[in-house]
Each structure stands twice: as C-alpha cells, then as structure tokens.
C-alpha cells in the first residue's frame, strides 16, 4: 500500500512487517479517526487546520517505520535480546498507528468536559483490549497476545525499554509527526525541524540506573546530532506558544466547554431540549462512564451537528452560547501577569470580571474563565534514568541531553505558564478599565 502524504510525501506500507498497518486501517475504530480533527477548534483561527487524527496516525506509523529502519542499522552492535525482532517491529508499527485511537472530539478539550473521565490513552487501551472491537480482532489474527502487547506499547511499556519510549516518550514517533503536520496545516513555520538528520543521529546505547542495573536507551550520536534534537524541542515549544495555546483557540475551547456544561445541567434537570445529544452525554449526566460503543459515537461532526441544532434551543442561555460558536463570536482575552509572585492576582482579576459580567446579565461561571495553559518545553526526569534522553560522545561517558545542550539545559523541567482572562466580547472595554490598575 502506497499513500501520498502532504508532510512525508510517498508513504509506503509494503513489507511483511507493515501488513499489520493494512489490517488495522480497515477497522471501524481507525476509520472513525477520519472524523476527529487533529487540532479540534484551531481551524477557527488557522483555516487550513482541517486535518484529521487519521492522517496523523498514518504519519506516526510512517515515522515509526523509518525509526525501525534506523534501529536495524544499529542493531548489530547490540546483544541479541536487545534487538528489534519481527514481532517487536510489527507491534511498534501497530502501536504507532493506534496511539490516538481513543481520542475524543475537539482535540484534548473533550477530556476536560466530563468530570473524572479517563484520558484518551485509557480509552485507546480499552478499545485495543476489548474482544468486541475490530482492532482487537485484527491484532489477534496476527498472533495470540498481540493486542495485549500493543496496548502495553501504547503506554510506553515493552521488554525493549527504548522501543517503549519511541512509542510514548520524550522523543517519540507521535511528536515527530504532529509537529511537522500541525505546522504545515496551520501555515506556520514554528514546528519545522530536521527529521532526516534527527533519525540519522539516533542510536541505542547502554546506561546504568541508580540501583546498578543496566538499561539500553535511545541516544543522540555525538555532537552532530545536537542541532537536530535542539530544533525538535524548540519547535515543540514554539508550537505550544503560537498554535496550541493561541489565545483565540483557547477562547473557542472555553466556549465549547460552557456549551457542554450547560447541556449536562439541562439533562440532569430532565429538560427534553437536549435529547438529541449522543448517548455518552446521558451517561455523563448520570455520573456514569460511557460505554465503549457510546464513546465511539463521538466525533467532531456529530457534536458540531448537535451544537447547530441547539442554537435555536428554548433555553436562552444554551442557544446564545451555541450561536456565538457557530458565528465565531469568540470571547476576548486579557493576558495576566506571569510568575509565581503574580498568581495571587489572578483570582482577584477573575472575581472582578465575574462581578462585571453578573451585573451585565451574564452567568459568570459560563461566560468568564481564568485560563492557565501550561507546558514543560523539555522534560528530563531524574528517575528512572532510562526515561531520559542521552548523548553518546566518543571519549566521553554517556551524558544526559540536558547536561550537554546549553539550550535544553535552560529549558529543562521549567514550566511555562501563560495565564489569561477570557470573557464575552461585549465586556472588553469595561473589564479592561477595571483591571488596568492590577495589570500595570
């Protein structure tokens, strides 16, 4: 099977190892990803960001295939038990393709709608292990126990620790694809980095844990690979700043969160105006976890159709929220002071804005939000040492990446927080005037 991809060009799944990709692509669970946008509501800000989780899944599997090819080049220098055999390679391709299988609509927003709902990774594992799912059947036809191994790999667990990290880790196939794909489809250049050189610079090397055990890890070969890996993490940092945490994207997400919060309120009150909502919402209104079949009914198109039908709801509050989203009348934002010393002022600003909104007839808990997006540009855990990235240099001991790279040492384990206040556009001037003394 050969596909054309806007990011990677010709993407081929033709060998015996790649047979698993063709089998899985035909399943209903994987095909559902065509109806789940990769960036959720970002297309309201970046018109080209219409790409799907399906396209990203294909790209991730392709990157994993290239990584496996690179590992095959360095395998001869490893003990036999540490080499990627046919089974491990096939499982890694399957895990790469399926890593977002349980993703809900509107990117990561959906995980925030239902209280105590599992993250998408948990839904992914549940779907892979469900005997009634198509993906489970497809995996088990390749050998008993395949589904269990692939589910573990999605969580980053494997007898070859470095392979688990390549599926779910600091530098994994998922991030390698989505940075390039999201950058291209949004029309920005912040997510570009040198994937070719990065893959070429990867090797597998041995380190010692604190307890004396020896582990094999992914490492960067020499200093020549440093610019590529630094570019990768800088690209990730810039994409969070400019795309994923863009103020208008976050404002749109807040608006959808308010819509779903109001829907759940009305459903709990027995209001019939929300009867057309998918089954998963009825479960959530009862405080129950949706079934897998109900969860699979959720996709972007289904929920946008529901929102469209609710814009004329007899509930004035719900109708107003839906019309704002459909007309792209997004809330406005004001950036708040950053830094640990400024956190105490955030709640004060939020309270002032909420009081203004209430006086103007808006329900504050649905129209005024304190948004605090955060990210760690480069995470390098102290323990276990095998989960970190390493640099192998001739005539030097193995060294953690953050200890070799000046740039990544500055970013290492530092949390970037960009707080802002989000509120209806009608209140922009009034809230701005009221908060001015606190913001200067």
**Domains of the chain: which residue ranges?**
331-377+415-440
With a pLDDT cut of 70, the percent of the chain lying above it is 99
Q: What is the pLDDT of residue 115?
A: 65
Q: What is the pLDDT of residues 390-426, one digit of tens each?
A: 998 887 888 999 999 999 999 999 999 999 999 999 9
Q: Is the pTM of the predicted complex or chain greater than 0.85?
A: yes
Q: What is the pLDDT of residue 154?
A: 93
pLDDT band at 120, cuts 50/70/90?
confident
Q: What is the pLDDT of residue 387?
A: 84
Q: Which two tokens stand for residue 227?
A: 């610019």
**Mean pLDDT score across all residues of the chain:** 91
Whole-angstrom Cα distance, residue 36 to residue 29?
A: 11
Q: Reply yes or no on whether the pLDDT at 68 is more than 90.
A: yes
Average pLDDT of the segment spanning 364-378: 95
């Amino acid at each position: 099977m050969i596909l054309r991809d806007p990011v990677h060009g010709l993407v081929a799944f033709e060998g015996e190892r790649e047979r698993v990709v063709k089998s899985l692509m035909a399943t209903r669970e994987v095909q559902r990803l065509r109806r789940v946008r990769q960036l959720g509501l970002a297309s309201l800000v970046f018109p080209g960001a219409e790409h799907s989780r399906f396209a990203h899944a294909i790209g991730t599997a392709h990157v994993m295939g290239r990584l496996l090819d690179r590992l095959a080049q360095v395998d001869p220098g490893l003990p036999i038990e540490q080499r990627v055999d046919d089974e491990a390679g096939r499982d890694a391709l399957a895990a790469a393709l399926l890593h977002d299988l349980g993703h809900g609509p509107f990117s990561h927003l959906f995980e925030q709608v239902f209280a105590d709902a599992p993250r998408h990774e948990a839904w992914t594992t549940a779907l892979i292990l469900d005997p009634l799912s198509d993906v489970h059947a497809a995996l088990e036809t390749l050998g008993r126990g395949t589904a269990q191994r692939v589910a573990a790999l999605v969580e980053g667990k494997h007898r070859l620790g470095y392979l688990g990290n390549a599926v779910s880790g600091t530098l994994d196939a998922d991030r390698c694809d989505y940075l390039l794909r999201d950058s291209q489809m949004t029309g920005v250049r912040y997510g570009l980095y040198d994937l070719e050189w990065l893959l070429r610079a990867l090797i597998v090397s041995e380190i010692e844990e604190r307890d004396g055990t020896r582990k094999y890890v992914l490492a960067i070969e020499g200093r020549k690979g440093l610019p590529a890996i630094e570019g990768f993490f800088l690209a990730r940092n810039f994409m969070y700043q400019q795309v994923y945490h863009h103020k208008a994207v976050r404002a749109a997400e807040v608006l959808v969160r308010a819509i779903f919060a109001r829907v759940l309120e009305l459903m709990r009150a027995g209001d019939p105006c929300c009867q057309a909502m998918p089954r998963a919402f009825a479960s959530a209104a009862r405080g129950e976890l949706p079934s897998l079949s109900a969860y699979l009914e959720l996709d972007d198109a289904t929920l946008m159709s529901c929102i469209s039908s609710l814009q004329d709801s007899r509930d004035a509050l719900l109708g107003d929220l839906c019309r704002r989203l459909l007309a792209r009348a997004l809330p406005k934002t004001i950036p708040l002071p950053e830094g640990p010393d400024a956190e105490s002022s955030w709640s004060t600003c939020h309270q002032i804005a909420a009081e203004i909104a209430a006086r103007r007839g808006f329900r504050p808990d649905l129209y005024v939000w304190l948004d605090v997006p955060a990210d760690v540009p480069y995470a390098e855990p102290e323990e276990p040492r095998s989960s970190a990235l390493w640099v192998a240099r001739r005539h030097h001991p193995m060294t953690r990446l953050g200890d070799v790279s000046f740039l990544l040492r500055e970013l290492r384990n530092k949390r970037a927080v960009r707080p802002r206040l989000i509120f209806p556009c009608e209140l922009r001037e009034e809230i701005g005037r009221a908060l001015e003394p606190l913001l200067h």
